[in-house]
Amino acid sequence: MDKQQIVEQAKAIQPWIVGLRRQLHQHPELMYEEFETSKLVQSTLDELGIEYQKDIAVTGVLGTVGNGNGPCVALRADMDALPIHEQADVEFRSQVDGKMHACGHDCHTAMLLGAARLLKENEDLIQGTVKLIFQPAEEGGAGGEKMSNEGVLENPAVQRIFGLHVSAELPTGMLAARAGTLLAAAGSLRIVVHGKGGHAAMPHLAIDPVTTAAKIVVELQTIISRELDPLESGVISVTMMHGGEAYNVIPPSMEVQGTVRSLTMDGLKHLQSRVQEIATAIASANGCQAEVSFPGNDYPPTLNDEVCWEAGKTAGEEVLGEGKVLEMSPVMGGEDFAFYTQRVPGCFAFLGIGNPDIDATYSVHHPMFKVDEDALPFGSAIHVNCALNSLDDLS
- Give the mean model confidence (pLDDT) for residues 156-176: 98
As a residue count, the chain comes to: 395
Query: Residue 224 CA to chain centroid, in angstroms?
Result: 24
Residue ranges covered by each domain of the chain? 3-182+301-394, 185-293
Using the predicted structure, report yes or no on whether residue 1 has a pLDDT greater than 90.
no
Predicted model pTM = 0.95
pLDDT confidence bin for 256, thresholds 50/70/90: very high
User: Looking at this protein, which amino acid is placed at residue 31?
Assistant: M
**What is the tens place of the pLDDT at every residue in 211-239?**
999 999 999 999 999 999 999 999 999 99
Q: Using an 8 Å Cβ cutoff, are 290 and 283 in contact?
A: yes
Q: Residue 98 region, left (φ>0) first, then alpha (ψ -120 to 50), else beta?
A: left
Q: Hey, is 68 helix, strand or coil?
A: coil
Lowest mean pLDDT among 2-16, 192-206, 250-264: 2-16
Beta bridge partners of 302: 183
Q: How would residue 2 be classed by pLDDT, with cut points 50, 70 and 90?
A: confident
Do residues 238 and 257 make contact, with C-beta atoms less than 8 angstroms apart?
yes
Q: What topology does CATH give the domain 3-182+301-394? A: Aminopeptidase (3.40.630)
Three-state helix/strand/coil letters over 97-156: CCCECCCCHHHHHHHHHHHHHHHHHCHHHCCCEEEEEEECCCCCCCHHHHHHHCCCCCCC
pLDDT of residue 337: 98
Buried b / exposed e over 147-175, threshold 16 CB at 10 Å, is bbebebbeeeebbbbbbbbbbbebbbbbb
- pLDDT digit string, tens, across residues 303-360: 999 999 999 999 999 999 999 999 999 999 999 999 999 999 999 999 999 999 999 9
What does the pLDDT look like over 37-55, one tens digit per residue? Answer: 999 999 999 999 999 999 9
Q: Which residues pair with 258 in a beta bridge?
A: 189, 238
What does the alpha-carbon distance between residue 203 and residue 285 come to, in Å, rounded to a whole number? Answer: 17
- C-alpha torsion sign, points 329, 332, 335, 338: positive
What is 185-293's CATH topology?
A: Alpha-Beta Plaits (3.30.70)
d(C-alpha 73, C-alpha 89), whole Å: 38
CB 111 within 8 A of CB 20: no
As a whole number, the mean pLDDT across the chain is 97
